[in-house]
Chains A and B, each alone.
Chain A
Amino acid sequence: MIEFKNIKKSFGDKVVLDDVSHVMETGKANLIIGQSGSGKTVLQKCLVGLFEPNAGEIIYDGISFTDMGIEERKELRQQIGMLFQGSALFDSMTVEQNIMFPLDMFTTNSFPEKLKRVNEVLERVNLQEVNKKFPAQLSGGMKKRVGIARAVVLNPKYLFCDEPNSGLDPQTSMVIDHLILELTREFNMTTVINTHDMNSVMEMGENIIYLYEGKKEWAGNKKDIIFSKNKLLNDFIFASEFLQDAKDMRMLEAKGKISDDRDMDELLK
């Protein structure tokens, strides 16, 4: 569980995060959603310590991250995996070397043991015969999967994903979403995902916070979103007419005005 209280962050005069508090739950996909520039990435970078918040406290499973020294943070970070927006794979290394890197750095395992673990995680993310390929030879979706494999190779307790679907087609996005969700449940991780992809929100949103201009505007889960009366959230989530219609349909369905096995031909009449 990751709890953050009253996080404030500004760059010069620009306030990017203003008094943001929430609890990210273990074993769930915790989503941070919001428009571009709403402070999602800054919040995530504050949580992992890449940015230092101006005020507020971050607590990892009861231990204050804010009060930790450099060495303690380094130790905690070995329990953190992160998938970056652009995958952040090391260009000069092969897929195998990329995934083996954390094992080389933090374990004393023999090469065959490390290779076995690399192949295990590659298999887990459904990638085969890519060990000797370089990141430049992979597609966007494959890079993301290698990024996930590298993030989970040390069995982390916390997984952070910054826009895992950016630049991917809807189908590949869904595959990545399912993979993150499965891994979260399988390893009982606390997963924090930044996204503004609505498919992801409706697919994975077990615990969602919506940021608007650096403030926490709304919190809930994917079911709550449908019935939310928050105008800012509705304008953001159901931006298109199509999605607005879909929402109305869901609401009518929930109120029993349309049956689940509705006859579309009948409705179209």
Chain B
Amino acid sequence: MLFFNHFGRYLMMLKGMFTRPENMRMYWKELMHQCVEIGIGSLGIVIIISVFMGAVSAVQTSYQLVSPLIPASTIAQIVRDTVILEFAPTVVCIVLAGVIGSKIASELGNMRVSEQIDALEIMGINTKSFLIMPKIVACLLTIPMLVVISMVLGILGGRIAGVATGILSADTYDMGLLMNFVPYNVIFALVKAYTFAFIISTIPSYYGYYVKGGALEIGRSSTKSVVVSCVMILFADYILAALLLNE
């Protein structure tokens, strides 16, 4: 019953965002601000995670491929496909759910308890539209870009680690990258990125916007929003894989 209560209110929140903006210029300004906060603000952690993720997957794949019959270029193929299919969209988005999700939930939660949201409502501003919509659009714009950057850096990380540890040469790695490449995998990864971006922005917005109480409740709702977002990402990951990868 509680689930339907939350889900209904979540849908009402999303519906409430679609009204005529009071001032388009201010909404645009807020959107650009959120793009910088979310996109540029998360770039550092995405770079670090991606490079190390690719590097570790190259080293570990080589450790597991003990048969001399398997060519070394296979390592590059495995790194490429795991990074594109899973690491870049899913793992990075789970990390972003923590980074961006907690930020969104605590920002909105703080605005709610300090009556800043009420102040905006009194001014005649649709707060769902002005505060939540730019965050969702900014996530939908920047997170897929971050995922693409993560793909490139993950593959690059694998190359650096492979060459540095002497597992395979740079030429072999590059050759492996081009073998049996399926462009559809990138499209699938982007579908996942858009879905996860929606989850990362809307669930924390919901928990932050409707928080009641004080500092303790803001912390709780922020944690809860991250946990729920991560679970929903994993759930959506499975659903999308089942729907889009089953031949």
**Residues of A with Cβ closer than 8 Å to B?**
45, 48-50, 70, 73-78, 80-82, 84-86, 88-91, 101-102, 104-106, 160
Residue in contact with A106 in the complex, picked from B23, B116, B126, CB distance below 8 Å: B23
Q: Is the CB of A105 within 8 A of B125?
A: yes
**B121 lies within 8 A of A50 (CB):** yes
In the complex, chain A residues whose CB is within 8 Å of the CB of B19:
70
B118 contacts across to A, CB distance below 8 A = 45, 50, 82, 84, 88
Nearest CB to that of B113 among chain A residues?
Answer: A86
Among A49, A74, A86, contact of B114 (Cβ-Cβ < 8 Å): A86
Tell me which residues across on chain A come within 8 A of B241, comparing CB atoms.
none
A14 to B123, CA, bound (A): 29
Interface residue tally of chain B, by bracket? 10 to 19
Q: Which of A74, A86, A104 contacts B26 (CB 8 A)?
A: A104
Min C-beta distance of B9 to chain A, whole Å: 16
Check A74/B23 contact, CB under 8 A, given A86-B114, A88-B114: no
Bound CA span A84–B114, Å: 9
Which residue of A45, A75, A89, A90 is within 8 Å of B124 (Cβ)? A75
In the complex, the answer to whether B116 meets A90 with C-beta atoms within 8 Å is yes
Q: How far in angstroms is the closest Cβ of chain B from A235?
A: 30
Alpha-carbon distance between A73 and B122 when the two chains are bound, in angstroms: 10
Cβ of B174 under 8 Å from chain A:
no
Q: B123–A78 contact, CB under 8 A?
A: yes
Choice from B26, B114, B116, B124 contacting A77 with Cβ under 8 Å: B124
Determine the distance from Cα of A81 to Cα of B116 in the docked complex, in whole angstroms. 13
Report B204 CB to chain A, min CB distance, Å.
18
The answer to whether B22 touches A82 (Cβ under 8 A) is no
In the assembled complex, the CB of A262 is this many whole angstroms from the nearest CB of chain B, namely 46
B124 & A84 in contact (Cβ 8 Å cutoff)? no
